[in-house]
Chains A and B, each alone.
Chain A
Amino acid sequence: MDPVRIVSGTAVPLDRSDVDTDQIIPSDWLKQVERTGFEKGLFSEWRDDRDFVLNQEQYLGANILLAGPNFGTGSSREHAVWAIQQYGFQAVVCPRFGDIFRNNSTKNGLVPVVVSPDVGEQLMRAVEADPTLEITIDVERRTLEAPAIGLTTNFPLEASVQHRFLEGLDDIGITLRQADEITTYETTRPRWFPTTANT
């Protein structure tokens, strides 16, 4: 993945809670074997509605997705992250993420920004009132700022994840540096653990 340091721009206010990954990308889109082209599937069942927030002109070109609590719950489909990214979002801001979705985001360089419910609400109202509101997310400082409304807030990001974002590191490469430890561990496994070779 490419390094990510700063995400700065405007946001789309998706004012719903419990947006599960089935809504982010419906299962019909999961039949693809490629890794690209998922932007068309993003929220595809909701996008048929002309009033849906993604269809509103004032939010075109936004690169931050603002959502209600419990965003990305449900299915483990990483396609949800790919769809959001390929549509043009670089960060998702919400009060609480589904664990697998959050984890998948970090593997792809999509910044998951957890804010307090109050800050989430404040941002939602501010962006609805002013779609041009500038927001800056700084991965290095772990801050989200919206100077026009006087907002500065911190967000949590594990040091190891932050390091991967900043350096654009590939997890598999990092793990393979520990190949010796893996080999050592393998010698300690109970021999009766199942394999496809034993019956």
Chain B
Amino acid sequence: MTSPKTLSEKVWDAHVVSRQAGEPDLLFIDLHLVHEVTSPQAFDGLRLAGRPVRHPELTLATEDHNVPTQNTNLEIADPVSRKQIQTLRNNCADYGITLHPMNTPGQGIVHIIGPEQGYTMPGMTIVCGDSHTSTHGAFGALAFGIGTSEVEHVLATQTLPQSAAKTLAITVNGELPPGSTAKDIILAILGRIGTSGGIGHIAEYRGSAIRALSMEGRMTVCNMSIEAGAKAGLIAPDQTTFDYLKGRDHAPKGAAWDEAVAYWKTLATDEDAAFDKEVVLDAADIFPHVSWGTNPGQVSPITGQVPDPSQISDPAERNAAERALDYMGLTAGTPLKEVAVDTVFIGSCTNGRIEDLRAVAAVAQGRRVSPGLRTLVVPGSWAVKGQAEAEGIDQILIGAGFDWRDPGCSMCLAMNPDKLAVGERCASTSNRNFEGRQGRGGRTHLVSPAVAAATAIAGHFATPEDLAPVAPLKSQEG
């Protein structure tokens, strides 16, 4: 009899190419996602050593970090960004790698297009030179971010040496209060375990509140595993996963589909398998969250106040909180709902999917963006954008005064022209509130799409319930 295993251990063990005492396991990589920022030096390394790409057909590239979100039919204006994009195009052409270039139908943020094109499936190993690769864990894939040296290693060998990680169970049971979303679950988890709570671990999200989430919501949760320092974050595949995958471009078809589903069903963590660490949260306690600091563990429920650092007992944490409030320009004790914002950014691989845009449209319908406030709504991919337009979401948002953009990473990391100015305050659906992340001197608050939308209408942090009800449409006749 084999010993009981967790989901991540099963996927890991199924990918061991070789195992030797005193050495990390050599793992086979099923899918390698590539983008323009972390790959040029890797391709250079290959070229220098005269090595080929072992499996171009298991490698998929897209342009996302640098691309503008306006005038995407034109050349990129910034010469440095343009050169980086051109370098990716040359590298993909030289090595026979499929690339989705800017302004073509398959293009989008790397972690959005993988799942939507049916590349991401349960039981796979997926890597990318990008820390939010953990997103793909929502399907029960072992997916993690790697550095450029490792990108080169995977290109050359389709494998990676990996030392075993510990396992962490994060269980969220019960039902979320109305108005709370997947984003609030992960922000609450970060508030609980902090930015180092997952270091050295692979997390598995479990419990009824996780099971109840859509695939989009599960991706939002897994996306931010890295914000807790975790190597990866997985959710066991179930009917929700299979329903999402069925019929997608690269998903198995016919008899292969049945074979795949039968295999996927074996992946769930065994009943008596043990985790190295466990955290349990009650979903009923998870209210909409807002981050107030400069790391994603510095969060509070939106009904709360800017915390008082002098109340924090741990000296390092107190110090970090003081520095954060100073950078963020916030005063301890201020109710979060009184904090006004200049910009609202909706998008990123955390919350740039169709369900997120639907949530924003539901709030925006019949309302107006607060005067003078800047908004950017950036769909995660052209497929998301097309779907939103087919549903009329673009018209609702434009009608409410939102700025409707083309796909890309955009203000999630501000490598393109979408940046905050010094001191500007932003409610953002992205994943990182680090100093300068959205532009030098910019101040980022992480929120859910629903809170971002309500904040855009109110001009300060708000939930949809805080907004005045939409006036019923006046009857046309009479």
Contacts and interface: CB of A to CB of B under 8 A. Distances in A.
B40 A193 contact: no
Contacts of A198: 250
Given A33-B40, A158-B24, A196-B60, A76 B252 contact: no
Contacts of B30: 189, 193-194
Interface string B412-436: 0111000000000000000010111
Nearest to B317: A17
Interface string B15-46: 00110001110101011000001101100100
A182 B27 CA distance: 9
A107 B249 contact: no
Contacts of B37: 30-31, 77
A182 B98 contact: no
A81 B147 contact: yes
A58 interface: no
A31 B81 contact: yes
A68 B44 contact: no
A169 to B, nearest CB: 12
B246 interface: no
Interface string A76-95: 11110100000000000000
Contact of B22 (A104, A160, A195, A197): A160
B28 A23 contact: no
Interface in B272-317: 295, 316-317
Contacts of B199: 70, 96-99
Contacts of B129: 76, 78
Interface string A46-77: 00000000000000000000001110011111
B473 interface: no
B161 interface: yes
B199 to A, nearest CB: 6
B149 A78 contact: yes
B18 A194 contact: no
Contacts of A175: 26, 153, 156-157, 159, 161
Contact of A103 (B65, B150, B432): B150
B250 to A, nearest CB: 4
Interface residues of B, number: 84
Contacts of B323: 16
Interface stretch (B51-59, B175-183, B445-453): B51-59
B440 interface: yes
Contacts of A27: 413-415, 437
Contacts of A193: 30, 121, 124
A70 B229 contact: yes
Interface in A147-195: 158-160, 171-172, 174-176, 178, 181-182, 185-186, 189-195
A192 B158 CA distance: 18
A45 interface: yes
A34 interface: yes
A138 interface: no
Contact of B295 (A20, A31, A108, A190): A20
A182 B440 contact: no
A18 B320 CA distance: 8
A128 to B, nearest CB: 15
A71 B317 CA distance: 14
Nearest to B251: A194
Nearest to B128: A76
Contact of A31 (B249, B252, B415, B440): B415
Interface stretch (B255-263, B348-356, B371-379, B399-407): B255-263
Contacts of A197: 57
B432 A74 contact: yes
Which has the most chain A C-beta neighbours within 10 Å: B17, B251, B319? B17
Interface string B330-344: 000000000000000
Contact of A171 (B17, B97, B149): B149
A187 B17 CA distance: 11
Nearest to B80: A31
A178 B415 contact: no
Given A75-B131, A160-B22, A33 B83 contact: yes
A20 B259 contact: no
A107 B147 contact: yes
Given A98-B229, A178-B26, A172 B49 contact: yes
A198 B150 CA distance: 26
B213 interface: no
B118 A194 contact: yes
Contacts of B158: 182
Nearest to A117: B316
A196 B257 CA distance: 18
A76 B38 contact: yes
Interface in B188-230: 195-196, 199-200, 226, 229
A99 B229 contact: yes
Contact of B250 (A96, A103, A172, A194): A194
A161 to B, nearest CB: 8
Nearest to A107: B149
Contacts of A99: 199-200, 229, 231
Contacts of B316: 17, 68-69
Contacts of A77: 37-38, 147
Interface in B122-177: 124, 129-131, 145-150, 152-153, 156-159, 161, 163
Across the A-B interface, give the 8 residue pairs with the lowest CB-CB distance, nearest first.
Answer: A107-B149, A104-B147, A192-B252, A78-B147, A33-B40, A192-B256, A196-B98, A194-B250
Given A27-B415, A31-B37, 17 more contacts: A27-B437, A74-B131, A76-B38, A76-B131, A100-B145, A103-B147, A160-B23, A172-B156, A172-B157, A175-B156, A176-B157, A178-B18, A182-B26, A182-B158, A190-B260, A193-B30, A194-B31
30 contacts: A22-B434, A22-B437, A23-B434, A23-B436, A26-B440, A30-B415, A33-B41, A35-B41, A73-B196, A73-B295, A75-B131, A76-B38, A100-B145, A100-B146, A100-B147, A107-B150, A172-B153, A172-B156, A172-B157, A175-B26, A175-B153, A181-B18, A189-B28, A192-B256, A193-B30, A195-B57, A195-B58, A196-B58, A196-B98, A197-B57
